[in-house]
Chains A and B, each alone.
Chain A
């Protein structure tokens, strides 16, 4: 289990380096998918399966898909992938930075300060955050209604901002 967690965390950091090294958006989106997937794996083990599920569905399946389609519409003729010179330079710099900073936090009490969010040690769906979800849907119902209203407001805001086809707010529409 610890080995799987180490692999997930390694994948997380490598994915972050892949995103931050400034490639073209499609490759950065792939890096983000890797980061989110690995992060979800870490979350599942430490007591947040519902959060991990929501992350996969909404972040990857909703927002990142929309972003990938928008990036595909804004395609460029010579995209920079991770093999090109400037991106590789950034990757080396970030990897060196990660190694340096992690060497500062090596050993001692840093190794045992990562604790799960509940008292169950097994790998199951019924973990700590399920209780929070139950509370959110029962006594937190008002907040959910307000969240739904805010989403509707955001829709109207975005529609109002993009209305008008280059005579409106955004000239690029």
Chain B
């Protein structure tokens, strides 16, 4: 793509999230979200093949619907309460509508079906932007509204963790697996939103780091399906050795970083006297763990047969940057001992 256009679009992406972060008026927040949607559309369609254009169209339609719902809820709130402030919402109808609109925006169950198909049509870099950056602005809004109905958030959260686990079990395409993993993690974030918003933020940030590592592992191996992952073990042995740990961190196993949010969320749910909810959420994490284990098994724990050129490839210097992956892998694997510091820093 023309570098000026690429710079303009990335600037638009950054500005949109910044505007939503900085806004206290619903109209400005909506403008930031629309700017994010607009700016990422050409990035998604930049490879011009029909699958990418289809993914772009689906993304645009769902995000436009969610933004329209958000605008409708804000104007309803202005009609009912007379003001547009994000943090001063009190009427239950607009709050519920906004929660559902933002759920559609980020891809929570039951309005999650666009996410696997959209991610599948994108290349790994754009998919990474979609999975990480585009979740920041809606969460900034979700963290600011006071929920009125406890059950809707718990229902969205539990349903998302279950759908994310079950949906990902039958997938062989890595991008769809990552989409379902995203749905499951978003479910965990929403589950604890009304009890401890700082834990939601913690889960969001750890999810960012873990999924950043995962996307980059797949990008460096140039693999988009389990078969391609299985035959990539010889390409970069350090990657083959660390990728299972990254995937198990996504699955939430101690002593890796991914355990931190799940542990704290289960503790918070138990403190709120929601033991069955906590049990159900923990068991739904087992479903996701199974397909992360399957990926680790395919890549590292077994050496898939290949011909000679596949098992002893030339290891030429790649033009891709490896420093981001190095830093994020460190964070994905080793940050569990910093749990007290993380909890102390993220006070909302």
Q: Taking beta carbons and an 8 Å cutoff, which residues of A are in contact with B?
A: 143, 146-147, 149-150, 153-154, 156-157, 160-161, 164, 167-171
Contact = CB atoms under 8 A, between A and B. Distances in A.
B48 A164 contact: yes
B16 to A, nearest CB: 9
Q: Which 10 residue pairs are nearest across A and B when measured between Cβ atoms?
A: A160-B42, A169-B45, A153-B12, A157-B38, A169-B48, A157-B42, A150-B35, A169-B53, A160-B5, A156-B8
Nearest to B1: A160
- Size category of the B interface is 20 to 34
A171 B15 CA distance: 31
22 contacts: A146-B19, A147-B31, A149-B15, A150-B34, A150-B38, A153-B8, A153-B35, A154-B38, A156-B5, A156-B8, A156-B9, A157-B9, A157-B38, A157-B39, A157-B41, A160-B42, A161-B41, A161-B42, A169-B42, A169-B56, A170-B53, A171-B50
Contacts, number: 45
Given A157-B38, A160-B5, 15 more contacts: A146-B28, A149-B15, A150-B38, A153-B9, A156-B8, A157-B39, A157-B41, A157-B42, A160-B42, A161-B41, A161-B42, A161-B45, A168-B48, A169-B42, A171-B50
Contacts of A154: 38
Contacts of B48: 164, 167-169
Contacts of B53: 169-170
B111 interface: no
B331 interface: no
A161 B34 CA distance: 17
B145 interface: no
Contacts of B34: 150
Contacts of B39: 153, 157
A168 B52 CA distance: 11
A21 to B, nearest CB: 24
Contacts of A164: 48
